[in-house]
Amino acid sequence: MPELPEVEAARRAIEENCVGKKIVKSIIADDPKVIDGVSASEFEASLLGKTIVSAHRKGKNMWLRLDSPPFPSFQFGMAGAVYIKGVAVTKYKRSAVKDTDEWPSKYSKFFVELDDGLEMSFTDKRRFAKVRLLKDPASVAPISDLGPDALLEPMTVDEFTESLSKKKIAIKALLLDQSFISGVGNWVADEVLYQARIHPLQISASLSKESCATLLKCIKEVVQNAVEVDADCSRFPLKWLFHFRWGKKPGKVIEKAIEVGADSSQFPNNWIFHSREKKPGKAFVDGKKIDFITVGGRTTAYVPELQNLNGVQSAKAVVKQRKQTSKRKGSEDDDGDNGVDAPESAVEEVTENVKSKRGRKPGGQGAKPSKKRKSKESDDDDSKHHAGDDDDDADELQETKSGKATKNKQAKAVKTSKEKVTSQKSKNQKKKAK
């Protein structure tokens, strides 16, 4: 997903190449799921003849200020991206359009041509983005609901520590909450927690002041570093987790990065980024295993060897692990017993049959199995153990027909006591043997 660095790179590309130019043509997609609250024709008409004055961003949202309102705003969603054609874009690789590319893309939702021939398009392949036409984008939702921008409005250590002390939720989930701090998404959250050596599930309020200060420092460094290189992953620091968090198989790294507009094939090799979606036990960073859990509804990559739960959570984690180990051991023991103790398995089978009969209504059609059905069941059970022995089958059938009362008593015995069932079954087996 595009996060603050990717959206800021798009804003800068527009700022450097489109500001001061007049819109001479516009094409808005007829897609109400993405084009929110206004018709395509009305949107197009409002843009024609307007000049782009500036480009703004807060969190993962961007908007263009024109020489008069209303203004187009863009919520990037999962795959929103800005592309520019007609100028040699070298810094903003994700915005460049090749001559062989389809243009405008079939995924284009917002397209404008400027008076110098330059063309700009906002695309969304997965249709989770929102493109709106607003009088004052910053004064209405979703932008007005956002917390301080992670790049433009950094908190002080005291402010950050005080804010965390009131939050009794996992720190990863809190970082993803855009009303707390805007612009931090999934990969940025994983990266800063990895670098700060904080477990994603650590309760925010339990963090020490030192941990809070370290985390704030890492947020600033990761965001600023990514923005300074215009989200060009080939220039991300080699020590980042980023590089190990994406592809489950070789080749998936590049595909995933391109989908969100980043060239991750060139990201520094030791970022966790490259391995965050690999299967457990298959991803490593600096020789240390990366594990994957779900936090705040999102797949989360972390390094257990470096990111440990602290305080009360640490003690609870140990107890939980012991219980799980004990449970697994108990299951293994039970499996061994079941594999040897055949009579116990037989009792459980009979008990299960009787339980299934309890659910039937008295006097109902299936309340009492017919003699024929009992005979067939007895015949089938016996044939498993005495295949080809017709004399034994005939004896069992005769016993079933004449021993209805005995069978009913046996069923009652099973309901009240497992031991009585075992005793009754042993008697029946002795009769069969005779």
Residue 429 has pLDDT above 70, yes or no: no
Q: Extract the tokens encoding 56.
A: 């703004």
Strand partners, 52: 66
Residue 199 has pLDDT above 60, yes or no: yes
Indicate the average pLDDT of the chain: 76
Quote the pLDDT of residue 90.
44
Confidence of residue 418 (pLDDT cuts 50, 70, 90): low
Quote the pLDDT of residue 298.
93
**Residues with active-site annotation:** 2-3, 60
Residue 290 has pLDDT above 60, yes or no: yes
Tens of pLDDT, residue by residue over 113-162, are: 999 999 999 999 899 999 999 999 999 999 999 999 999 999 999 999 99
Residue 98 has pLDDT above 90, yes or no: no
Strand partners, 288: 285
Quote the pLDDT of residue 312.
86
What's the whole-model pTM score?
0.66
Quote the pLDDT of residue 235.
82
Spatial distance between the Cα atoms of 60 and 143, rounded to a whole number of angstroms: 9
pLDDT average, residue stretch 207-218? 97
Residue 191 has pLDDT above 70, yes or no: yes
pLDDT greater at residue 426 or residue 239: 239
Quote the pLDDT of residue 301.
92
Residue 221 has pLDDT above 60, yes or no: yes
Quote the pLDDT of residue 190.
96
Unique residue bearing structure tokens 């079939």: 106
Confidence of residue 252 (pLDDT cuts 50, 70, 90): very low
Confidence of residue 426 (pLDDT cuts 50, 70, 90): low
Quote the pLDDT of residue 21.
97
Residue 434 has pLDDT above 90, yes or no: no
Residue 239 has pLDDT above 60, yes or no: yes
For strand 71-75 and strand 130-134, is the pairing parallel, antiparallel, or unpaired? antiparallel
Q: Extract the tokens encoding 61.
A: 């949202």
pLDDT average, residue stretch 292-318? 88
Quote the pLDDT of residue 243.
80
Spatial distance between the Cα atoms of 253 and 245, rounded to a whole number of angstroms: 8
Residue 79 has pLDDT above 50, yes or no: yes
DSSP H or E segment with residue 107: none
Amino acid identity of 237? Answer: P
Quote the pLDDT of residue 198.
98
Q: What strands lie across the sheet with 130-134, from one edge to the other? A: 35-36, 130-134, 71-75, 61-66, 52-58
Spatial distance between the Cα atoms of 431 and 285, rounded to a whole number of angstroms: 68
**Lowest-confidence region among 71-75, 109-113, 331-335:** 331-335
pLDDT greater at residue 131 or residue 233: 131
Please count the CA atoms within 13 angstroms of the CA of 327 that sit on its side-chain side: 6
pLDDT greater at residue 395 or residue 114: 114
Tens of pLDDT, residue by residue over 335-367, are: 444 433 333 333 344 344 434 444 444 444 444
